[in-house]
Amino acid sequence: MQEIRCPKCGEVFQVDETGYDQIAQQVRDKEFERELERRKKELDAKHEQELEVIRLQEEKEHTASMTQKDAEISEKDRRIAELQAKLDASETAKKLAVAEAVEKKNEELSQKVTEIADLRGELKNRETESRLSEKSLQEQYEEKLRLKDEQIEYYKDFKARQSTKMIGESLEQHCLTQFNAIRMTAFPNAYFEKDNDARTGSKGDFIYRECGEDGTEFISIMFEMKNEADMTATKHKNEDFFKELDKDRKEKNCEYAILVSLLEIDNELYNNGIVDVSYKYPKMYVIRPQFFIPIITLLRNAAKNSLQYRQELQIVRNQQVDIRNFEENMNAFKEGFARNYRLASEKFSTAIDEIDKTIDHLQKTKAALLSSENNLRLANNKADELSIKKLTKNAPSVKAMFDDLRREG
């Protein structure tokens, strides 16, 4: 129990813990309510002050805004007045300009009417001249057409009168003339002649060959020219001549084969340019006559780039020939020496047999021995005369190798 004294009457009374807690709680509640009320009043007062400040600020800003708006309205009124004045002046100027423009247009219209009348007269004159010119051009065109028809008829008659041989030769002559026209400037070292060698049973038309400065051939072409008359009953195809052309190329040892053809004149395959038919026969092309010089130039320039390798290959081939010559010289010596040795051995055997058989044949045996001795002497002389110089005869590259070895030694 706890004792509590009343602050007013001074009476002392006792309370238990529960009562004490209740009294303390009442005291705390009262204090809390008073404190809450006080804080609420302070917050209300502060809020009123802030509202007042905001209100004053808004009034100030509103006043300033209204002042600015009044100034802007005044400025706009002034601008409107100025623009109105300018508009009034512009209307006056516009009316004057319109009047001047109308007057000017009337003058121009009058001038245009005069010009139109003049142009109509000029146009009429030009129409007359045009009709006369058109008539003249028509007459000229008809004359040219007549001449062209006559020319066509002439060529038709010319082709009809040509034999098959003449047609072929005319194309050959055309190609030869084309080549000779630029031979000295473009192909000064080239060989281009008719193929007249028919020993193998057939021949082409032309053979083209060209060599480097050292004589190494770097390109060769077999040409065949084919033409046909328009009225020929049996029409040939380019493909009909491929096999024979490939055969001529191989027999004449040419690298390329080219068919210069006017056959199948409506075939777009052969009319579009250079046609590679290597899928049928190796290194074979079909061309129209206008591509005769271009294909020679293309193949020649491409082959000329490989000339260095061809020259090196020719050197290797020459070395192989020298080695073969050296081997042949060596084999010839071996065969001669073996033959002489075999003869000597046979003579020795004959002599020994003769001695064993009879003493009476001593003279024959002596002769056989002398003969054997002579063969041995010849064999010995050949062995003594054997030298590098003789072995390397006709083999300059092998001789050069021995000279190099001798110098290094």
295 with 258: CB under 8 angstroms?
yes
- Cβ-contact 277, 285 below 8 angstroms: yes
Hey, what amino acid is at 81?
A
What single letter denotes the amino acid at residue 68? Q
Check residue 293 and give its pLDDT.
94
Contact present, 350 and 370 (Cβ < 8 Å): no
Question: How many CB atoms within 10 Å of residue 402?
Answer: 15
For residues 162 and 291, what is the distance between their CA atoms, to the nearest angstrom? 24
52-58-64-70 Cα dihedral, nearest 10 degrees: -120
* Cα-Cα-Cα-Cα dihedral sign, residues 304, 194, 172, 225: negative
**Rounded Cα gap, residues 41 and 47, in angstroms:** 10
Over residues 118-135, the pLDDT tens digits come to 777 777 777 777 777 777
pLDDT score at 121? 76
- Eight-state DSSP code of residue 219: E
Residue 252 has a CB neighbour count (10 Å cut-off) of 18
- Residue 270, amino acid: Y
Do residues 175 and 292 touch, judged by C-beta distance below 8 A? yes
* Distances 78 to 64, 71, 74, 245 between C-alpha atoms, Å: 21, 11, 6, 105
- Alpha-carbon Rg for the chain in angstroms: 64
List b or e across 42-70, with b for residues whose CB sees 16 or more CB atoms inside 10 angstroms. eeeeeeeeeeeeeeeeeeeeeeeeeeeee
- Tell me what pLDDT residue 163 has: 42
Write phi, then psi, for 217 (nearest 5 degrees).
-75, 130
Q: Convert 261-292 to b/e letters by CB count within 10 Å (16 or more is b).
A: bbbbeeeeebeeeebebeeeeebbbbbbeebb
Measure Cα distances from 8 to 5, 11, 12, 23, 192 in Å. 9, 8, 11, 16, 154
* Residue 94 parent element (H or E): helix 17-161
Write 126-132 long-range contacts (CB < 8 A, 24+). Answer: none
Taking the chain (409 residues) in consecutive chunks of 10 residues, what is each chunk's mean pLDDT? Answer: 62 64 68 77 82 82 81 82 77 75 75 76 76 79 75 52 50 91 91 86 88 84 84 79 94 94 88 92 94 93 75 64 65 68 69 67 67 70 63 71 72
Please give the single-letter amino acid code of residue 339. R
Task: Choose among 199, 314, 299: nearest CA to 251.
Answer: 199
**pLDDT computed for residue 140 by the predictor:** 80
Residue among 182, 181, 180, 158 nearest 170 (CA): 158
Q: Residues 308, 313, 318, 319: is their CA dihedral positive or negative?
A: positive
pLDDT at 323: 63
Calculate the CA dihedral of residues 326, 332, 336, 339 and round it to 10 degrees: 130
Beta strands in 235-388 (DSSP E): 256-261, 275-276, 284-287
Query: 377 is written with which tokens?
Result: 């002497």
Over residues 247-272, the pLDDT tens digits come to: 999 999 999 999 999 898 888 899 88
Phi, psi of 218 (to 5 degrees): -115, -5
pLDDT for 158: 46
